[in-house]
Amino acid sequence: MSQHGKSVNRAWASIAREVISLLLWVTQRLLSMLFRRPMIDIVLLVFVLWLFSRFITTVLLPQPEPVLLQPAAVFESR
């Protein structure tokens, strides 16, 4: 991010705080919509929550690489 030609380093905590507040705002809007609308919005809410959980598990909590890898198959010829 740059401001007036200088680079601005934002702390990861402030960025995380903004992301969490945005997720909470979106969740609040979806829940308020849920109580006013018919069944199709419930399906939409479940889909959006599934997207959030998939994003969190794939981007924010990546799975570690396996430490022990299977060796490549070696074929001896005579």
**16 lies in some domain:** yes
For residues 14 and 6, the answer to whether their CB atoms sit within 8 Å is no
The pLDDT, as a whole number, for residue 22 is 92
Could you read off the pLDDT of 20-62 as tens digits, one per residue? 899 899 988 877 876 776 677 778 888 988 988 888 777 777 6
- Decide which of 68 and 3 is more confident: 68
45 CB contacts (<8 Å, ≥6 apart)? 30, 31, 33, 34
Is 41 within the bounds of a domain? Answer: yes
Residues 2, 8 contacting (CB under 8 angstroms): yes
Structural domain boundaries enclosing 19: 2-60
In a domain, 74, yes or no: no
Confidence of residue 5 (pLDDT cuts 50, 70, 90): low
| Residue 19 pLDDT > 60 | yes
CA atoms of 33 and 56, how far apart (whole Å): 23
Q: Is 0.85 topped by the overall pTM?
A: no
Number of domains in the chain: 1
